[in-house]
Amino acid sequence: RSVPAGSEVSQESLLLHGPFARKPKRIRTAFSPSQLLRLERAFEKNHYVVGAERKQLASSLSLSETQVP
């Protein structure tokens, strides 16, 4: 089978960028004991911390919003 010039794709490229490519692993956050306590208390009140509450909780714990589970 012939391949048109300029359209060759390496196997490595397919593995890194193909439809089933793995996302890089997210670095796990190591929470301090006091952060864990505050997060657990917030979770007890509401299992889904979202919006302004999430932003405020993240800020008060010196975490990014994405680090607040």
pLDDT in tens, 9-59: 566 665 666 667 677 887 888 899 999 999 999 889 888 888 899 999 999
- Collect all residues with Cβ–Cβ distance below 8 Å to 35 and sequence separation of at least 6: 61, 63
pLDDT for residue 62: 92
Flag whether 58 is in a domain. yes
pLDDT of residue 1: 53
Q: By residue range, what is the domain housing residue 64?
A: 31-68
Provide the number of structural domains found in the chain: 1
Position 61 scores a pLDDT of 92
- Report the pLDDT value the prediction gives residue 32, as an integer from 0 to 100: 93
Task: With 0.75 as the threshold, say if the pTM is over it.
Answer: no
Q: Would residue 62 count as lying in a domain?
A: yes
Q: Does residue 59 fall inside a structural domain? A: yes
Q: What is the CATH number of the domain that holds 43?
A: 1.10.10.60
What pLDDT is recorded for position 16? 62
CA distance 23 to 4: 30
CA proximity to 26, closest of 57, 54, 66, 65: 66
